[in-house]
Amino acid sequence: MKSGTYAVLSAAFFAGLALLGAAIAQESDYPNDPASLAIGRTIAEENCASCHAIGPEGESPNAEAPAFRDLSQRYPISDLEESLAEGIVTGHNDMPEFVLQPDNINQFLGYLSSIQVQKDKN
């Protein structure tokens, strides 16, 4: 392999590691103090509980709505930040559109992060 090719592959590898590290750090940076988690849960109760299971257990009222505790198995929780800031809009009529302020986004995502169930990889 030519040294130029190695340098490009090496740079791409380390850039990918940096992005992964940023995503991991970002999710762990959400507030996890009791007051913030309570606000995050209240946001979930007011905006999401009519369809989603918003706690660490229980079934979603709408069978097609994923339980919040399983969201990190679908995508990184941090992927929701932009949608929450701009207003979540979906293709179905049951989901309300709402926009959150930056502090509330972090509190909501902190709450979501706190209830995630990790699948056993055995």
Could you tell me the CATH number of the domain that includes residue 90? 1.10.760.10
Split at pLDDT 50, 70, 90, the class of 85 is confident
Residue 67 has pLDDT above 90, yes or no: yes
Please state the separation of Cα 110 from the chain's center in Å: 9
Task: Please report the pLDDT score of residue 17 as a whole number.
Answer: 36
Q: What's the rounded mean pLDDT across residues 63-88? A: 89
Residue 88 forms part of a structural domain: yes
Asked if the structure places residue 59 within a domain, the reply is: yes
Establish if 119 belongs to a structural domain: no
In which domain, by residue range, is 102 found?
Answer: 31-114
Given a cut of 90, whether residue 40 has pLDDT beyond it is yes
